[in-house]
């Protein structure tokens, strides 16, 4: 599992470690790792032209000390001093090694730019001259290496307010920062390389975590010799309507492909016909009234994709959420509970899977505000509503009160197409029915869904049904890698 921390957590760990070491040790460790990463990206160091963007803080010091190392290896290194002050020892060493101070026009001839403008303590929009330098670095032809975090990205949240560096590579010191894993900041980090400076023993519990292949493979339920279809998990799906038949087909397909022992689908006549044709494995219950009495025994429910938002949907939601079973609420189900949040007052496990617009309606927030601060709003929603929140988007996050937010590292932009969320609901519902709690079910489902999307797309457009079809391949890929 990859873990990440806020700026405050990192600074506290650094303070504890620095008390045990000679002055400047951590900066030298950081500079050594940064210089090595820059050299690897350059390929040929001797004669290359490197420009350092140097701010007032320790990031500027790291850049200068790394520049000193590169200069001693024959690189032509220039430093643009953007701050009101400069790290004195770093600048002196840099100049002794043959580095020079330059104006910002040096960016035009650089082979590599090192962003040491601001560090993990910065928040809010970049001011001048930092904002202008960030934009010039982005516009140039040279790759940019960011020190710790790209300038303009909030290290603790991933928020970006105004100009921000777009790095080819981010060399981060001691531990990953939360903002490197969460959009919009994550979109500006490029590849992330971690330099070990000895913080590990001094770090607290993580702020966020990202599962790995091995983590997910270890959490996924596997059938044993004694398994039968009932022991493998029976999922009830209430989805689809005469208007939105495809949502039912996709949710059922996602559940079957994710290993549910049985899927019981219940709905109106038109989606019943579509599900029966697409998935003969599903057990079908036609509904001529909004009642779950005749559906049969299930171990978890998926409620909402394409269900509609009228009285029919509200009655089904009230019945399902009135049970003691785990329930996943998605799509139209979220619109129903947004209009009657008392439906979510339950003691049984509840997983909601909104996109930003749906969460905005649920917690009475602005969609743009949620997109800008995904972690903050997912955490707030989990606490306010008493549920587990899987917030879909460019960075999918899973929040549950009193636990680190899980950030999903898989996926592809090709997943931004209609119906893929219905497949995700089915996958997560199947995992709930197989015994995972909402936190693990949501995290593993997002991981599998993202991996299936990559496999299905393979660099080309996909349809939602392709994602459902690729879920078994995603599971096999995890098994092969671990």
The CATH number for 464's domain is: 3.40.1190.20
Q: Check the annotation: does 267 bind a ligand.
A: no
Express each pLDDT in 61-77 by its tens digit: 999 999 999 999 999 99
Task: Kindly report the pTM of this predicted structure.
Answer: 0.92
Same domain, yes or no: 65 and 154: yes
- Confidence at residue 329, expressed as pLDDT on a 0 to 100 scale: 98
- Tell me how far apart the alpha carbons of residues 135 and 142 are, in angstroms, rounded to a whole number: 13
Q: Is 429 annotated as a binding residue?
A: no
CB atoms near residue 249 (< 10 Å): 29
Exposed e or buried b per residue across 425-454, where buried means at least 16 C-beta atoms within 10 angstroms of its C-beta? bbbbbbbbbbebebbbbbbbbbbbbbbbbb
Residue 357 labeled ligand binder: no
Same domain, 241 and 114: no
- Whether residue 395 is annotated as binding a ligand: the answer is yes
| pLDDT over 90 percentage in the chain | 93
Q: Are residues 58 and 179 both part of a single domain?
A: yes
The annotation status of 439 as a binding-site residue, yes or no, is no
Q: Would the annotation count 115 as a binding residue?
A: yes
> Within 10 Å of residue 457's Cβ, how many Cβ atoms?
19
Contact call for residues 150 and 165 (beta carbons, < 8 A): yes
Do 137 and 256 share a domain, yes or no? no
For 269, the domain range is 213-481
Nearest Cα to Cα of residue 144 among 122, 121, 112, 120: 112
Give the orientation angle of helix 464-481 with respect to helix 245-257, to 10 degrees. Answer: 10
Domain edge (last residue) among 156, 182, 207: 207
Local structure of residue 126 (DSSP, 8 states): P
User: Does residue 366 come out as left (phi exceeding 0), alpha (psi in the -120 to 50 range) or beta?
Assistant: beta
130 annotated to a ligand binding site:
yes
Residue 59 known to bind ligand = yes
Same domain for 62 and 191, yes or no, is yes
> Of the candidates 187, 207, 227, which is a domain's last residue?
207
- 8 A C-beta contact, residue 8 and residue 207: no
pLDDT at 121: 87
**396 labeled part of a ligand binding site:** yes
Same domain for 176 and 225? no
CATH of the domain at 177: 3.40.50.10260
Known binding residue 228? Answer is no
151 annotated as belonging to a binding site for a ligand: yes
Do 20 and 132 fall into the same domain?
yes
Is 355 annotated as belonging to a binding site?
yes
DSSP letters for 54-98: E-SSHHHHHHHHHHHHHHHTT-EEEEEE-SSS--HHHHHHHHHTT
Judgement on whether residues 365 and 279 belong to the same structural domain of the protein = yes
247 has binding-site annotation: yes
Contacts of 245 (CB under 8 A, 6+ apart): 270, 271, 274, 306
Is 215 part of any known ligand binding site?
no
**Radius of gyration in angstroms for the set of CA atoms belonging to the chain, rounded to a whole number:** 26
Same structural domain, 378 and 364: yes
Q: Is 306 annotated as a binding residue?
A: yes
For residue 122, say whether it is annotated as part of any ligand binding site. yes
Is 285 found in the same domain as 402? yes
Please write the tens of the pLDDT for every residue from 229-255.
777 789 999 999 999 999 999 999 999
User: Residue 61 annotated as binding?
Assistant: yes
Distance CA 137, CA 165 (A): 7
Whether 181 and 291 map to the same domain: the answer is: no
Q: What is the DSSP letter of 153?
A: B
Beta 300-303 vs 283-286: how paired, if at all?
unpaired
pLDDT beneath 70: ranges in the chain: 227-228, 482
- Residue 402 annotated as binding? no
Residue 47 annotated in ligand binding? no
Q: Which of 207, 230, 260 is where one domain is finished?
A: 207
353 annotated to bind ligand? no
Please tell me whether residues 143 and 231 are part of one structural domain.
Answer: no
> In total, how many domains does the chain have?
2
């Amino acid at each position: 599992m990859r873990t990440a921390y806020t700026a405050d957590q990192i600074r506290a760990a650094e303070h504890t470690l620095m008390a045990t070491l000679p002055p400047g040790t951590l900066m030298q460790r950081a500079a050594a790792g940064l210089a090595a990463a820059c050299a690897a990206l350059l390929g040929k160091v001797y004669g290359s032209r490197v420009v350092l963007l140097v701010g007032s803080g320790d990031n500027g010091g790291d850049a200068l000390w790394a520049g000193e190392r590169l200069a001693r290896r024959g690189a032509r290194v220039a430093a643009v001093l953007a701050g009101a002050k400069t790290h004195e020892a770093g600048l002196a060493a840099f100049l002794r090694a043959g580095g020079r101070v330059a104006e910002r026009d040096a960016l035009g001839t650089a082979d590599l730019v090192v962003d040491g403008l601001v560090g993990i303590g910065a928040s809010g929009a970049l001011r001048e001259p930092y904002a202008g330098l960030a934009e010039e670095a982005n516009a140039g032809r040279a790759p940019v290496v960011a020190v710790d975090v790209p300038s303009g990205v909030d290290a603790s949240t991933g928020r970006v307010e105004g100009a921000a560096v777009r790095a080819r590579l981010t060399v981060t010191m001691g531990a990953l920062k939360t903002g490197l894993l969460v959009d919009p900041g994550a979109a500006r980090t490029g590849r992330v390389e971690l330099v070990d400076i000895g913080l590990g023993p001094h770090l607290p519990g993580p702020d966020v975590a990202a599962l790995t292949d091995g983590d997910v493979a270890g959490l996924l339920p596997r059938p044993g010799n004694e398994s039968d279809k009932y022991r493998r998990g029976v999922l009830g799906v209430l989805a689809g309507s005469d208007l939105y038949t495809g949502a039912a087909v996709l949710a059922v397909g996602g559940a079957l492909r994710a290993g549910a022992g049985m899927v019981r689908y219940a709905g109106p006549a038109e989606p019943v016909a579509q599900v029966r044709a697409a998935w003969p494995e599903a057990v079908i219950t036609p509904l001529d009234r909004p009642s779950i009495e005749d559906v049969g025994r299930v171990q978890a429910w998926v409620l909402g994709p394409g269900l509609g938002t009228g009285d029919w949907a509200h009655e089904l939601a009230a019945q399902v959420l009135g049970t003691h079973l785990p329930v996943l609420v998605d799509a139209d189900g979220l619109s129903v509970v947004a209009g009657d949040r008392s439906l979510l007052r339950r003691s049984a496990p509840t997983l909601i899977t909104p996109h930003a617009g749906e969460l905005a309606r649920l917690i009475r927030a602005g969609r743009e505000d949620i997109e800008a601060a995904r972690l903050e709003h997912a955490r707030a929603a989990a606490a306010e509503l008493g549920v587990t929140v899987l917030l879909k988007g460019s960075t999918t996050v899973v929040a549950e009160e009193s636990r680190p937010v899980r950030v999903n590292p898989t996926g592809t932009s090709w997943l931004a197409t209609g119906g893929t969320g219905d497949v995700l609901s089915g996958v997560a519902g199947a995992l709930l029915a197989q015994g995972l709690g909402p936190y693990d079910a949501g995290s593993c489902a997002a991981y599998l869904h993202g991996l299936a999307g990559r496999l299905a797309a393979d660099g080309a457009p996909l349809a939602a049904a392709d994602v459902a079809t690729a879920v078994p391949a995603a599971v096999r890929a995890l098994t092969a890698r671990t």
